[in-house]
Amino acid sequence: MGLDDTDSLQGGCTTEVFFQLLEQLPEHVEVLHTRLVRLWPFAQQRTRGNAAVAAELKTENTTALLKFLNDFWMRCILPLKGEVQPSEHSERPQYPSDPGMVWFEDVKPDAEFYRKGLTTEIYEKDLPAATKSWGGHGKIGATLAVHWPAKRSTYEAIAWRVSENNGERRLDKEAIKFIDEMDGTFLCRDQRSGSSMVAPRGKSPVLFGVRAWNKQAAEEALQRLITGAGTEPVAGCMVFETNQATNDHLDTAMEARIEEIEILKGGHTLLHSSEDRFLAFKETGEISTTCQRLQPGDIIQCKGMRAPDESIHVEFLQIRHLVPKRRRPLCPTCDKALTSMGKNQGLRCKKCGLKVKDAWEETQRTLPMNRWIQPPPSSRRHLAKPLDESQEWQNNL
């Protein structure tokens, strides 16, 4: 069963609706596992978190299960349709929520379809036929979540707030410190800013989400936080298997020789090569500053997603070759740079008048070579794998 698109910037959360659905399942239905799947970030009607959820359910009475799902849809999900609020931070149009739910019997995950859902726009007409479906646009994400093959996965433990709670989220400081330092969790804190990344901002019923490399670590971190003395009461919690931090959205690294460097409004950098354009946003930190120091002739490798305008949004970058820095030699008498007198006419010192043959001096530039870099944690895509977790993975990027 898959579900998507029940929320908007106005509030709500598909994971919470999903949790409520699973909590109310009839006794004859067993939940085998739950999953949270991030999708193509450029989709026109993508949801706030750009994620869909799904669960594998086991039952001997499918008819009764479908009757329950239909009733839950009418009572709890359909009323969420049409919620919308403009963004205060982005010019991207916001679409009204359009929930969708699907049920597949004996489904075999379609890796090719899932991959398409990470790299291009998917429409309702593209969807494989479900055994039963409800709603509209949300059926796209719901179907993709069901068809995720889960060849690579991580986990996220999520807890939701009691409905009366509002304002600043309260999490136990000692528990936060513990999960920051424990083996198995990742991206719990932005080391650059020092800020915690487990609690969302804005209107959301989610109290926290802890990412982990394995289910055991996710469950341990979850228990530490919800039982911490300084943590506010929770309405419920669940561990999801996810495609976060898997790099499922990326192809092999692309190599390019830079022909032009363009600094855009806002401090973003656009690199031009003969075949592609590579966009490094200001928020990518070291990637952005490194791109601004490149020169025509430099060779880079990068990994990133191709946007609808055909530019590559850089997520991983390394320099493979740097052209030397060239300058005119200095006058041996005056220690001033010699200047050209014209093509094939030699050089001259403007101060003492010394004339010499035309020449250039080359020096090596100092930029990090043959080392992958990526944006700081707060500016990465959910799907991007942290570099510092696996040196072997870096070497095979």
According to the model, what pLDDT value does residue 353 have?
Answer: 79
Locate tokens 């399942």: which residue?
25
Highest mean pLDDT among 77-86, 151-160, 352-361, 365-374: 151-160
Count CA atoms within 13 Å of residue 191 on its CB side.
8
pTM for the predicted model, two decimal places: 0.87
Q: For residues 219 and 300, state if they share a domain.
A: no
According to the model, what pLDDT value does residue 90 have?
Answer: 52
Does 288 fall in a domain?
A: yes
User: Using 50, 70 and 90 to split pLDDT, how confident is the model at 362?
Assistant: confident
Beta-bridge partners for 348: 339, 355
Q: Which residue has the higher pLDDT, 232 or 329?
A: 232
Does 360 fall in a domain?
A: no
**What are the tokens at 238?**
């669940």
Does 193 fall in a domain?
A: yes
Dihedral, 264, 308, 50, 142 alpha carbons, nearest 10: 180
Q: Residue 59: phi, psi to the nearest 5? A: -155, 155
Highest mean pLDDT among 191-195, 249-253, 362-366: 249-253
Q: For residues 232 and 287, state if they share a domain.
A: no
Q: Which residue has the higher pLDDT, 165 or 241?
A: 241
Q: Which are the contacts of 7, defined by CB distance < 8 A and separation ≥ 6?
A: 13, 14, 47, 48, 49, 80, 83, 97
For the chain, give the mean pLDDT: 89
Last residue of a domain, one of 185, 219, 242: 242
Q: For residues 234 and 296, state if they share a domain.
A: no
Q: Which residue has the higher pLDDT, 288 or 107?
A: 288
CATH of residue 304's domain is 2.40.50.1010
Q: For residues 220 and 278, state if they share a domain.
A: no
According to the model, what pLDDT value does residue 325 have?
Answer: 85
Beta strands per DSSP E along the chain? 2-4, 30-38, 51-58, 100-103, 132-135, 154-161, 206-212, 234-242, 254-257, 260-263, 269-272, 277-280, 299-306, 312-321, 325-327, 339-340, 347-348, 355-356, 361-363
Q: For residues 156 and 271, state if they share a domain.
A: no
- pLDDT tens digits for 65-91? 999 999 999 999 999 998 755 545 556
- What SS3 state is found at 31? strand
Give the integer Cα–Cα distance in Å for 363 and 347.
Answer: 19
Residue 352 has pLDDT above 60, yes or no: yes
Q: For residues 316 and 263, state if they share a domain.
A: yes
Residue 190 has pLDDT above 90, yes or no: no
Q: For residues 206 and 271, state if they share a domain.
A: no
Q: For residues 126 and 147, state if they share a domain.
A: yes
**Total domain count for the chain?**
2
- The CA-atom distances, in angstroms, between 166 and each of 17, 84, 217 are 18, 20, 28
226, amino acid identity: I
- pLDDT tens digits for 285-338? 999 999 999 999 999 999 999 999 999 999 999 999 999 988 878 888 888 888
Q: For residues 27 and 164, state if they share a domain.
A: yes
Give the integer Cα–Cα distance in Å for 25 and 20.
Answer: 9
Give the integer Cα–Cα distance in Å for 185 and 171.
Answer: 17
Residue among 243, 214, 250, 213 at smallest CA distance from 145 = 243
Residue 389 has pLDDT above 60, yes or no: no
According to the model, what pLDDT value does residue 392 have?
Answer: 41
User: Using 50, 70 and 90 to split pLDDT, how confident is the model at 97?
Assistant: confident
Domain boundaries, position 268: 254-323+365-380
Does 346 fall in a domain?
A: no
Q: For residues 220 and 277, state if they share a domain.
A: no
Residue 11 has pLDDT above 80, yes or no: no
Residue among 100, 1, 105 at smallest CA distance from 45 = 100
Give the integer Cα–Cα distance in Å for 87 and 10.
Answer: 9
Does 394 fall in a domain?
A: no
- pLDDT tens digits for 249-287? 999 999 999 999 999 999 999 999 999 999 999 999 999
Does 249 fall in a domain?
A: no
Give the integer Cα–Cα distance in Å for 67 and 280.
Answer: 50
From edge to edge, which strands make up the β-sheet containing 339-340?
Answer: 339-340, 347-348, 355-356
Q: For residues 269 and 220, state if they share a domain.
A: no
According to the model, what pLDDT value does residue 394 have?
Answer: 44
According to the model, what pLDDT value does residue 134 have?
Answer: 97
User: Using 50, 70 and 90 to split pLDDT, how confident is the model at 195?
Assistant: confident
**What are the tokens at 41?**
């970030």
| CA 74 to mean position of chain CA atoms | 33
- pLDDT tens digits for 205-231? 999 999 999 999 999 999 999 999 999
Q: For residues 278 and 184, state if they share a domain.
A: no
Give the integer Cα–Cα distance in Å for 247 and 187.
Answer: 15
Locate tokens 């669960």: which residue?
55
CATH of residue 23's domain is 3.90.600.20
Each as own residue / partner, the long-range contacts of residues 265-272 (CB below 8 Å, 24 or more positions apart, any chain) are 270/311, 271/300
207 and 199 Cβ atoms separated by less than 8 Å: yes
Residue 360 has pLDDT above 90, yes or no: no
Residue 119 has pLDDT above 90, yes or no: yes
What letter would DSSP give residue 123?
-
According to the model, what pLDDT value does residue 23 have?
Answer: 97
Residue 192 has pLDDT above 80, yes or no: no
pLDDT (average), residues 375-388: 90
- pLDDT tens digits for 171-182? 999 999 999 999
Does 42 fall in a domain?
A: yes
| DSSP codes joined into one string, 158-178 | EEEE-TT--SS----HHHHHH
